[in-house]
Amino acid sequence: MKTSAEIRTAFLDYFVAKGHTLVESSPLVPGNDPTLLFTNAGMVQFKDVFIGKEKRSYVRAVSSQRCVRAGGKHNDL
């Protein structure tokens, strides 16, 4: 049975081989987004790209993002 680290590496390697840029995981506490207490999804680090405030040097990205998922309505703690 593969370890979680091996599965993560295989996932990242697959997309890098297909031309995606490997992007490091961003911090669990986002420093530039006052609307979030914690990073709760892999898309958080790309929010400014999605809303048109920022451009990146790549168009395809792959990452394995650390995140906090809390139960309850709207991820309330």
DSSP 11-70: HHHHHHHTTPEE-PPPPSS-TT-TT-SS--STTGGGHHHHTTS---S-S-EE--------
Q: Are 42 and 23 in contact (CB under 8 A)?
A: no
Tell me if 34 is assigned to some domain.
Answer: yes
pLDDT score at 41: 87
Give the chain's domain count.
1
pLDDT in single tens digits along all 77 residues of the chain: 999 999 999 999 999 999 999 999 999 998 888 888 888 888 999 999 999 999 999 999 999 998 887 776 665 65
Q: 33: domain range? A: 4-71
pLDDT score at 77: 58
pLDDT score at 1: 95
Tell me if 10 is assigned to some domain.
Answer: yes
Tell me if 76 is assigned to some domain.
Answer: no
Tell me if 32 is assigned to some domain.
Answer: yes
Tell me if 61 is assigned to some domain.
Answer: yes
